[in-house]
Amino acid sequence: MKLAVIVGSLRNESYNRALAGVLVNRLPSGVTAEMLELADIPFMNEDLESNVPASVRRVANQVAQADGVMILSPEYNRGIPAVTKNIVDWLSRGSTGHPLKGKPVAIGGISSGPIRTMVMQSQLRPVLAHTEAIVMTSPVLALTEGQDNMSASGELSDATAEHIKRYLAAVVQHVQRYEVVT
């Protein structure tokens, strides 16, 4: 099984990039992951669809070739960050082959704030549902950066390590449930 991992932050020291690394390193045997590069993705613009930028085609192909997708994103001002929303917008278009359609997707995130990423996740779920992605609903992965969940260097509390183990098992089961047989 192959997962495409989208990190909705461009910051080099992003908590969500660190979380993605933790998750990828803890994937069960037989599951691989590819981190998608979003720094060169332009804003979705219908004027670009007649000649989709190579960077967008690259990410769309990576998603199309994956069995499932994990989106790990911060929450900005109680909402979906532009990086996260922009890539979902591109991946929902016919010009990119609509690679989210029918694709199993899991959402998660980490933030330094007390609400974690719960508002972002509650907003992203219906957006993804509209793209016809199949969004995993449970368990939720919404962590805070700090001793109670995950440090900036990726160290986990025992409770968080156990939660991540359950989360990854659910992601694998979700993808297997909807995996397209070729």
Q: What confidence score (pLDDT) does residue 82 get?
A: 98
Angle of the 54-65 helix axis to the 82-91 helix axis, nearest 10: 70
**Total number of domains in the chain:** 1
Which residue range(s) make up the domain with 79? 2-178
Length of the chain: 182
- Which residue in this structure is represented by tokens 């278009």? 93
Distance between CA 67 and CA 62 in Å, rounded? 10
Distance between CA 122 and CA 142 in Å, rounded? 11
Q: What CATH code is carried by the domain that includes residue 9? A: 3.40.50.360
**pTM (2 decimals)?**
0.95
What residues of the chain score a pLDDT lower than 50? Answer: 181-182
The total of other beta-carbon atoms located within 10 Å of residue 165's CB is: 12
Distance between CA 58 and CA 54 in Å, rounded? 6
